[in-house]
Each structure stands twice: as C-alpha cells, then as structure tokens.
Amino acid sequence: MSPLRVRTFRMNSGERMALLVHGSRGLPVIPVVPYALRLRARSAAPATMRKALSAVALGLDVFADLGIDLIQRVAQRRFLSSDELIALAERCRISEPEFGSRLVDPHYAKTRYLTCADYIEFVAEPVIARIADAVQHDAANAALERFKRRVKRFAPKSDSHSTNDDGSPKERLGMTPAQRELFLRVIQPGDPGNPYSLKLQVRNCALLKLAYELGPRAGELLGLKCADFDFSVQPANFTIHRRHDDPDDYRENPATTKTNARILSLDDDLRDLLDEWITYQRSDRSKFPHARKHPYVFVNYKGEELTDRGLRDIISTLEQRYPELAPLHPHIFRHDWNDRWNEANENSAKPEEDLRDQKAAMGWSHRSSMPQRYGKRSIRNSANRKIARMQAMGRTK
C-alpha cells in the first residue's frame, strides 16, 4: 500500500468531508471510512477530522510494523499488550519524517495516542456485538475494559514539557502592560516601527485591533463578512455568526465558530478603522483585485480570503520584528481580553453579573468554566495583591 494521507473533499453544500486515502488515485481506506463518518456525525470541524485521521494513519503504520491484525486481536480478546502500547505512545511523540522527526507538543502526542485507542475501540465494538455466546460476549467486553485501563496507564504525559527553562510553569497568558503599549503603537498605520508594507498596514491594524479589543477566536475573525458589520447605528456593531459548512468558503481550512453567535459593539475609533478598511481599502481593485469575488472582510495581498496560515504569518512578522512581544499567537488576544476584563472588574460590587457578561461577550455558555482557564495573569496578580494585603495586615498587629 502507498503511504496513507488525509484528503478533504468539498461538497456542493459547502460541507467538508475528510477521508484517509492511499495510492496514486487517492482511493479511500475502506475500513476507516465508517470511523470518518462517525467523526462527521459528531459535527467535528474539518481540521479536527484531519488531525484524527492523521492519527489513525499513524496507528495503522504502527500496527503494520508490529504485525497486529486488530480484528483478529479483538476476536481473541487480546487487544494491545503493554509493550505494544508503549511503542504506540513513543511513535505518537514524534512528528512525521517530512517535518524532521522531531518531538511534537506533548498535548498533541497524547491526543494522537488517545485517538488511536479510540479507533481500536471503534473496530472492537461491532466484532464484540457479533459474539452470540453470552459468556464469550461478556468476556470480550471485560477484556475491552481492561484494555481501556491499560491505555490510560501508558498515555504520553501531557505535562512533560509544561515548564520553562527556569523551571517556572508554562502557561498561556495575556500580554504585560509594556507589551500592550508596544503592540498598540507599532501596529498603527504610518508608525515608523510598523513592520508591514504600506499596502497592508490598514488591513493589519484593523484585524489586530479587532482581535485585541474584542477577543474573538481566529476562526471567528477569518469568518467575518462585510455584511456582518453595521456602521449605520450608534454604537456601530458586528455579528459573529455560526456558519459551519459555509458555501461561500473555499479555503482548505474553512473558518469556523466554536462559540455562540453574538453581537458586539465597536467604539468610534475601531469603527472608523474598520470602515476605512472595508469601504475604501478593501474595495480598491487596484490594490486587492480578487476581493470582489468573495464576501469575507480580511483578505491577503491579492484580495483572496485570508487563511489561518496568513493570519499566523501576520502575527509572526510582528513577533520577529519585536521579540519582546513573544510569545505572540492568534489566541493570545483572547487571553489578554480576559485579563483586562478581570482587571477592570476586580473591585466590582456585582461579580455574578460581571461573570455572566464576560461569558456572553466571549460566546461561552452560561454554564461554562472557561473564565477560570482564561485571564490567568490577572487572576494570579489579583491573588498576589490580596496576599500582600494579608501580610501587611499581619505586620500591623
């Protein structure tokens, strides 16, 4: 069999379907198709489907190397031994050869490993269901449960690289005050320190200021359409829609919204900046000739829809020019927004109302625990300020 690879198909409805394929003609790997359909039934995003099927491809390669026939193993109630699971875990820690066979992020390694285990369980379920003898059926289910426990024992540790070089915890944090000041200055069009070409300075400022001021996810930014903005009202606003399988989106990685739809207001400065970009800059055919072919707000240098790779390049260009802004990535603005929200409301008399509004602004469910995962820098600073007050009280007694 030729090397396995994941291929994404775009249907007329706009839906993306990923399949594991092989051979020069890209024929589907038939035993894996039902698993791909289950991912689709779970409404997995195209990128999630591709990652899951890539992990399955890795697992199939490992099983082939070890001479493992999954169906035969299930029928024999053997599954994978401890040594075989260790071998699978080790392979999940290493990137594909074309990327230099380096160690991958530990969280990604664990996700790959657990996806392979999930696929084994998926293969096992119909095999066990066909066992007619009640005693053997129960024995097979018991063997499957033992396998699940064994899987957990040998899973890659997701926190194995969770510390910095100095031993401090590695966390996703928002920016420091100094970083915010530098960031907001150098993204301004015309600033001497702006690292972008004159043609793209207004676009990049509009995109980055929108990310900074309102904290949308990267997919929400890339999925914004010109019609989502209303500059005729006061205050101006825009709507973040849930548009899964959008027929307008032809990007390989379509923009997706994981959170709830919502309407967010714009202050006058951000409204004017976005109006300048959408009404005058983006519509200039001499600058962005392909922008008229699609409805999306943010475009590349030709006017085509901006991709997730393009967004990362914009941010990495800024980080390369200003290393003191590191680590800079698309999601840092969401963390930073929550830091600033917590700082602004630290002494509020209505904490429950503030928490409700925070969840609404981020598109989180009212039952969500996400506020505890975001804004870690502000939470830590607030805790330390309270500790300092407690210590001061102790010294005055």
pLDDT tens track for 344-353: 998 889 999 9
pLDDT value for 234: 95
Task: Report pLDDT digits (tens) over 81-101.
Answer: 999 999 999 999 998 766 667
Q: What is the mean pLDDT of residues 117-122?
A: 96
pLDDT value for 100: 62
- Amino acid, res. 130: R
CA distance 346 to 41: 42
- pLDDT at residue 164 is higher than 90: no
> φ and ψ at 74, to 5 degrees?
-65, -45
pLDDT value for 386: 82
Angle among Cα 222, 254, 325 to the nearest 5 degrees reads 40
pLDDT value for 335: 94
* Cα dihedral sign, 338-343-344-345: positive
3-state secondary structure of 67: coil
Predicted TM-score (pTM) of this structure: 0.75
pLDDT value for 397: 55
Q: What is the mean pLDDT of residues 46-62?
A: 93
Q: What is the mean pLDDT of residues 44-49?
A: 84
- pLDDT at residue 383 is higher than 70: yes
CA distance 370 to 159: 20
- pLDDT at residue 1 is higher than 80: no
- pLDDT at residue 187 is higher than 90: yes
Q: Who wins on pLDDT, 383 or 297?
A: 297
- 190-330 homologous superfamily: Intergrase catalytic core (1.10.443.10)
Query: How long is the chain?
Result: 397
Q: What is the mean pLDDT of residues 146-163?
A: 80
Angle among Cα 164, 170, 174 to the nearest 5 degrees reads 125
Give 157's DSSP letter.
P
pLDDT value for 89: 96
CA distance 376 to 331: 14
Give 297's DSSP letter.
S
CA distance 187 to 176: 17
pLDDT value for 171: 66
pLDDT value for 163: 44
Q: What is the mean pLDDT of residues 327-331?
A: 92
Tally Cβ neighbours within 10 Å of residue 254.
26
pLDDT value for 103: 87
Percent of the chain whose predicted confidence (pLDDT) is above 70: 94
Instruction: Parse the chain into domains and list their residue ranges.
Output: 5-153, 190-330, 335-396
- pLDDT at residue 265 is higher than 80: yes
Q: What is the mean pLDDT of residues 237-254?
A: 90
The closest alpha carbon to 46, from 16, 5, 13, belongs to 16
3-state secondary structure of 176: coil
Buried b (16+ CB within 10 A) or exposed e, 238-253: bebbebbbbeebebeb
Q: In the numeric block, which tokens belong to residue 309?
A: 């790779």
Q: What is the mean pLDDT of residues 131-160?
A: 90
pLDDT value for 396: 61
Q: What is the mean pLDDT of residues 165-191?
A: 82
Is the Cβ–Cβ distance between 88 and 80 less than 8 Å?
Answer: yes
- Torsion angle, alpha carbons of 144, 148, 149, 152, to 10: 160
CA distance 53 to 254: 18
Exposed, middle or buried: residue 42 (CB in 10 Å: 0-12, 13-18, 19+)? Answer: exposed
Q: What is the mean pLDDT of residues 246-264?
A: 90
Exposed, middle or buried: residue 13 (CB in 10 Å: 0-12, 13-18, 19+)? Answer: exposed
Q: What is the mean pLDDT of residues 213-222?
A: 96
Strand order in the sheet with 237-240: 229-230, 237-240, 262-265
264, HSE (Cβ side, Cα atoms, 13 Å): 24
Strand order in the sheet with 5-10: 5-10, 16-22, 27-28
